[in-house]
Amino acid sequence: SHQQMKSILVLQLVSNKSVHSFRSIRKDETALFVERIREYSSSSSETKPAVINLSMMFVELTNNGICRSSFGVRCSESEKRKKFMVLLKDLSELTGTVRVGEFLPWLGWIDSVNGFDKRVDRVAKEMDDLLED
């Protein structure tokens, strides 16, 4: 169910124990991030300063940290990147969606009619398939 999916996500990725266990990943990714900025800035000249898109770099930093924590590989180095990003977007939409059946159990059938339950099942299956590869 939707509530179980939220619980699993919280337990696996954002519990105190798991956050602590991913410390080395965060340190590695931050070091790579700083090194990339250093490389970009050293490639510039006095007449042509480097333009660095920090927004994209922060997105990559975050995505690579999540991918390494989830799959053990950096997203930018993986074929799974696009699939993972689509699933992450779908998952964030689902976790932010209010299920009628969660608050009014006798109206839980609405979640099936509006397609919510199918979306949850699809995302769960695709995430399982991705994690099993």
pLDDT tens, residue by residue, 25-62: 999 999 999 998 888 888 766 666 677 888 888 888 88
Write the burial class of residue 38 (CB in 10 Å: 0-12 exposed, 13-18 middle, 19+ buried). Answer: exposed
pTM: 0.53
Q: What pLDDT, on a 0 to 100 scale, did the predictor assign at position 77?
A: 58
Smallest CA-to-CA distance from 90 within 9, 12, 26 is with 9
Q: What pLDDT, on a 0 to 100 scale, did the predictor assign at position 30?
A: 93
Handedness of CA 92, 125, 85, 25 (dihedral sign): positive
Q: What pLDDT, on a 0 to 100 scale, did the predictor assign at position 129?
A: 84
Residue 13 or residue 70, greater confidence: 70
Q: What is the average per-residue pLDDT within 108-133?
A: 86
Cα(103)–Cα(131) distance, rounded to whole angstroms?
Answer: 31
Q: What pLDDT, on a 0 to 100 scale, did the predictor assign at position 27?
A: 94
Q: What pLDDT, on a 0 to 100 scale, did the predictor assign at position 19?
A: 75
Hey, where are the domains in the chain?
2-132
Tokens 């699933």 belong to residue = 87
**Does the structure show a pLDDT above 70 at 10?**
no
Cα(78)–Cα(104) distance, rounded to whole angstroms?
Answer: 42
- Contact call for residues 59 and 23 (beta carbons, < 8 A): no
pLDDT digits (tens, 9 = 90+) for 63-111: 888 878 877 777 765 566 778 778 888 888 888 888 888 888 899 899 8
Q: What pLDDT, on a 0 to 100 scale, did the predictor assign at position 94?
A: 86
